[in-house]
Structure 1
Amino acid sequence: MTLQWTAVAFFLYAEIAVNLILCIPFISAQRWRLIFSWRIWNWLSPYWNKCFFTMILVLIVLFLDALREVQKYSGPEPMQDVKVNPNLYDHIHMKLFRAQRNLYISGFSLFLWLVTHRIITLLNQVAATLVDSAGLQAQVDCAVRAARQHQEDNLMLQQTLLEDEKSMSAKNHQLKLEVEKLAGQLKAAEKAVHTSHAEVEAMKKQTKGLAQEYDRLLREHHQLQNLQRAEDKKDQ
């Protein structure tokens, strides 16, 4: 195996190990996000896209080269040379095997490179979604607590209004009783005033009658005095 294909094979083994580690179930996406937020990754992040596309191009070139080799050694021309020189049969099949091996190595390396990039992206998205969902859950819990508090306040307000209504109704009933009592007292006072007016009128009439009787008696007294004087003069 040449140096380039040895490097591609080690790269494939490294990709398999990284994917197995990323798929470990007890390491959560949030923990992976914390790992991806280390300073070393922040330092490498400007070069990540360049490295990613460079490796894709290199693997595509190697894959096409291996595909060309497979087509080369599986075509009809090498078989014609085998018929001419039978000793080349094993050599051609060895070349074809190496070309197929290189094709599989480069193809799986390219595939796992894309899968690794996708897994890392999905882990970051899942971690961000979990953080957002935790924030939304906190907001929902806060809204639920506020709604419960508002409901409790409404119940307390309704109870207070009900108590105030009962108190106002009791006060209104008491005021109604007092008004009825005052109305009765007012009627009694009106009756007393009417009776007093009647008594006053009766006393006025009685006083008037007494005054008339007094005047009559006074006139009779004067008349008697005048008669008495007239008789005294006659006797003299």
Structure 2
Amino acid sequence: MSLQWTIIASFLYAEIAFVLLLALPIASPSKWQKFFRSKFLAYISNQASIYFLVLIGVLILCLLDAIREMQKYSNMESTDHQHLDAEMQGNMRLFRAQRNFYISGFALFLLIVIRRLVQMIAELATLLAQAEANFRQAQSASATAKTLLSQQGEGDEKNKKEVEELK
């Protein structure tokens, strides 16, 4: 495997590990959000969109190169197996082109999946914080309503006693 495809395959393996890390219930969404909003990642995220687009561009170029290689080696003529070594070499090149196609395709796909996973985890953390705030607000409103009802009940009892005394 050439150097560029070794780098892309290593990047694919790192992406797989990162997706598994995000998908496993190791940390809560709020902890992930704290990590994603840390100073280190905030420093990197200023240029992250540019890096992300450049990375997508490189992966698309590698994918197109693999597609071109696949088409080049899949249209080879069969010469009645007279030159077996040439046919085997052509099949080997086709196999490598297909392997490179899958490596770059999955790397591109996982890059998009990772971006969406990070967005969804951040949104989930925000929604969980809102739900917790709404629950606290509902508890506070319930406690206030109970105290008002108990005060109103005491006032009703006083009014009933006054009415009975007047009778």
Give the structure-1-normalised TM-score: 0.67
* Cα distance in 1 for residues equivalent to 2:84 and 2:24: 52
Shift in Å, 1:79? 1.8
5+ residue gaps in structure 2?
none
* 2:119 paired residue number: 121
- Residue range with higher mean Cα deviation, 84-93 or 31-40: 84-93
* 1:9 paired residue number: 9
The structure whose RCO (Cα within 8 Å, separation 6+) is larger is: 2
Pairing 1:68-83 to 2, within 5 Å after superposition = 68-75=68-75, 78-79=76-77
The alignment partner of 2:77 has SS state of helix
* Cα distance in 1 for residues equivalent to 2:110 and 2:78: 38
Please tell me whether Structure 1 or Structure 2 has the larger radius of gyration of its CA atoms: 1
* 2:150 paired residue number: 152
* 1:90 paired residue number: 88
The alignment partner of 1:25 has SS state of coil
Query: What residue identity is the alignment partner of 1:162?
Result: K
- The alignment yields a C-alpha RMSD, in angstroms, of 1.6
* 1:189 paired residue number: none
Shift in Å, 1:153? 1.5
* 1:59 paired residue number: 59
* Cα distance in 1 for residues equivalent to 2:38 and 2:79: 59
Shift in Å, 1:84? 7.3
Q: Is the 8 A contact 1:82 1:88 kept in 2?
A: no
Q: Is the 8 A contact 1:81 1:88 kept in 2?
A: no
- Residue range with higher mean Cα deviation, 46-55 or 107-116: 46-55
* Cα distance in 2 for residues equivalent to 1:168 and 1:7: 95
* Cα distance in 2 for residues equivalent to 1:150 and 1:104: 67
Identity %: 34
* 1:203 paired residue number: none
Distance 1:42 1:82, change over 3 A: farther
Deviations 1:188-236 (A, max 9, x none): xxxxxxxxxxxxxxxxxxxxxxxxxxxxxxxxxxxxxxxxxxxxxxxxx
Pairing 1:148-227 to 2, within 5 Å after superposition = 148-169=146-167
Shift in Å, 1:168? 2.5
Q: Is the 8 A contact 1:66 1:103 kept in 2?
A: yes
* Cα distance in 2 for residues equivalent to 1:99 and 1:142: 64
Shift in Å, 1:85? 4.5
* Cα distance in 2 for residues equivalent to 1:62 and 1:19: 22
* 1:47 paired residue number: 47
Give the structure-2-normalised TM-score: 0.93
* Cα distance in 1 for residues equivalent to 2:26 and 2:126: 18
Distance 1:146 1:82, change over 3 A: farther
Distance 1:83 1:131, change over 3 A: same
- Greater helix percent: which structure? 1
The alignment partner of 1:145 has SS state of helix
Shift in Å, 1:28? 0.9
Q: How many residues align?
A: 167
